[in-house]
Amino acid sequence: MDKSIAGYELKCATYRAEHVSEDELWSAFAHLFSSQTRMVSSYKYGFLKSIIDNLYNVDEHLTLTFDQLFSKFGEIYWNLILKYELRQQAKRETYLEQIIRNAVAKYHLPDGIPYESLSAEMMIDISHQIKMKCKTNVVGALYGDTKGLFYSFDKRGEWLQINPQMYEFICKHKVTIEKLNYYEWAKFLESVNDDSVVNHLLSKIDESAKRNNLSYYRDILFQEFENRCFYCGKRVTKAHVDVDHFIPWSFIKDDNIWNFVLACPECNRRKSDKLADPKYLDNLIVRNTNLETESYKGMENYRRDRLLKIYSWARKNGYNEIWMPKKKVEEY
Ligand SMILES: [Zn+2]
């Protein structure tokens, strides 16, 4: 990294590929969250969350496109700004706030509308505008503040490639790093917002990219092959079924077709935030092979090996309670 220019000014950069110790990787994050890194808005936290929430959407070279990153970034900020009315900077409105408020006016949207209620065209339009504005500073700033260890990037090519050492490290310590990020982010938001909007602040940050309407996935799974509960085998109907994140949402923080199964409401409630028994992981891999054959949207970056790893990373991150339905109606 050229030390004479600040990270945010870089047009492209390469990660430091030399082997570094875990201590050094931790120190990159300690530096990022320290008061030494300049901070006028909350973008750095939001961009880190966009990467962490996209960890399992990387391709085989651990690359993410700016479209993937900034559509998540846009979703997070849309909800923080409109749904939760959280300012992102002390004195004046940020560019991001302007883009979002302009979109509300342009599309005549009601106050506080959540991101998931927007049409696909609106989402594309908004995340494109956010990408064009924010890619200039945000990508290089986070690169510089993590001592050049996090990723390589190219603003013109609009991609970012995560350092493999860093990728393993973040996957292993995901929950801890996420908590550090939320803590610093919340502290920042508290300093620039009125007391009236900072209640439940950590939940607001955590759920800024959570979608509640999963009917799109329910319809696909139904149509394809599942009219039984993935866990207990009981017959389900469209009116009486839940879409379950196989690896809990609280760990994965993203909606992926390869991680969704249909479950009866009882199993979904009982499984809750737990991991299912490994034999269901095997069943999911078989099920996903079918989805791959049909080349469903969202299966592009699915890897069987990665799903196995995510399951074990979840266990390393504290998801130790393994769940099984009490009785199984019949074999899946
Ligand atoms: Zn069930």
Q: How far apart are CA 58 and CA 10, in angstroms?
A: 23
Residue from 6, 29, 12 nearest 169 by CA: 29
Q: How far apart are the CA of 329 and the centre of ligand 1, in A?
A: 9
Q: How many residues does the chain have?
A: 332
* pLDDT score recorded for residue 328: 67
Q: How far apart are the CA of 262 and the centre of ligand 1, in A?
A: 9
Average pLDDT, the chain: 92
* pLDDT score recorded for residue 4: 57
Q: How far apart are the CA of 233 and the centre of ligand 1, in A?
A: 6
Cβ atoms 290, 309 nearer than 8 A = no
Lowest mean per-residue pLDDT among 2-16, 124-138, 305-319: 2-16
Q: How far apart are the CA of 277 and the centre of ligand 1, in A?
A: 14
Q: How far apart are the CA of 266 and the centre of ligand 1, in A?
A: 6
pTM, rounded to two decimals: 0.93
Q: How far apart are the CA of 267 and the centre of ligand 1, in A?
A: 4
Q: How far apart are CA 201 and CA 204, in angstroms?
A: 5
Cβ atoms 311, 325 nearer than 8 A = no
Q: How far apart are the CA of 268 and the centre of ligand 1, in A?
A: 7
Task: Give the residue, 3 or 174, on which the prediction is more confident.
Answer: 174
Return the CA Rg of the chain. Answer: 21
Instruction: Give the tens place of pLDDT for each residue, 153-176.
Output: 999 999 999 999 999 999 999 999
* pLDDT score recorded for residue 78: 96
Q: How far apart are the CA of 236 and the centre of ligand 1, in A?
A: 9
pLDDT at 199 over 60: yes
- Quote the percentage of the chain above a pLDDT of 90: 78
Three-class SS string for the chain?
CCCCCCHHHCCEECCCCCCCCHHHHHHHHHHHCCCCCCCCECHHHHHHHHHHHCHHHCCCCCEEEHHHHHHHHHHHHHHHHHHCCCCCECCCCCHHHHHHHHHHHHCCCCCCCCHHHCCHHHHHHHHHHHHHHHCCCHHHHHHHHCCCCCEEEECCCCEEEECHHHHHHHHHCHHHHHHHHHHHHHHHHHHHCCHHHCCCHHHHHHCCCCCCCCHHHHHHHHHHCCCECCCCCCECECCECEEEECCCHHHHCCCCHHHEEEECHHHHHHHCCCEECHHHHHHHHHHHHHHHHCCCCCCCCCCHHHHHHHHHHHHHCCCCCEECCCCCCCCC
Q: How far apart are the CA of 209 and the centre of ligand 1, in A?
A: 27
* pLDDT score recorded for residue 90: 81
Q: How far apart are the CA of 327 and the centre of ligand 1, in A?
A: 9
Q: Burial letters for 151-165: b for 16+ Cβ neighbours within 10 Å, e otherwise? A: bbbbbeebbbbbbeb
Q: How far apart are the CA of 230 and the centre of ligand 1, in A?
A: 7
pLDDT band at 39 (very low <50, low <70, confident <90, very high): low
Task: Give the residue, 132 or 291, on which the prediction is more confident.
Answer: 132
Q: How far apart are the CA of 232 and the centre of ligand 1, in A?
A: 4
Q: How far apart are the CA of 55 and the centre of ligand 1, in A?
A: 29
Q: Where are the domains of the chain?
A: 12-206, 215-323
Structure tokens at 11: 């047009």
pLDDT band at 49 (very low <50, low <70, confident <90, very high): very high
Q: How far apart are the CA of 227 and the centre of ligand 1, in A?
A: 11
* pLDDT score recorded for residue 332: 46
Instruction: Give the tens place of pLDDT for each residue, 65-124.
Output: 999 999 999 999 999 999 999 998 887 888 999 999 999 999 999 988 999 999 999 999
pLDDT at 306 over 50: yes
Sorted by sequence, the CB contacts under 8 Å of residue 115 that are 6+ apart come out as 74, 75, 78, 79, 83, 123
Q: How far apart are the CA of 235 and the centre of ligand 1, in A?
A: 8
Instruction: Give me the residues near ligand 1 (ion), CB cutoff below 5 Å.
Output: 229, 231-232, 234, 264, 267
Burial class (CB in 10 A: 0-12, 13-18, 19+), 237: exposed
Q: How far apart are CA 191 and CA 46, in angstroms?
A: 16
Q: How far apart are the CA of 330 and the centre of ligand 1, in A?
A: 11
pLDDT at 330 over 60: no
Q: How far apart are CA 154 and CA 260, in angstroms?
A: 33
Average pLDDT over residues 258-277: 96
Average pLDDT over residues 129-158: 94
| Pairing, β 159-162 against β 322-323 | unpaired
Q: How far apart are the CA of 226 and the centre of ligand 1, in A?
A: 12
Q: How far apart are CA 39 and CA 164, in angstroms?
A: 27
Query: What dihedral do alpha carbons 176, 179, 181, 184 form, nearest 10°?
Result: -130
Cβ atoms 75, 208 nearer than 8 A = yes
pLDDT at 23 over 90: yes
* pLDDT score recorded for residue 88: 86
Q: How far apart are the CA of 34 and the centre of ligand 1, in A?
A: 47
* pLDDT score recorded for residue 225: 67
Q: How far apart are the CA of 311 and the centre of ligand 1, in A?
A: 21
pLDDT band at 8 (very low <50, low <70, confident <90, very high): confident
pLDDT band at 3 (very low <50, low <70, confident <90, very high): low
* pLDDT score recorded for residue 326: 85
* pLDDT score recorded for residue 1: 47
Q: How far apart are the CA of 229 and the centre of ligand 1, in A?
A: 5
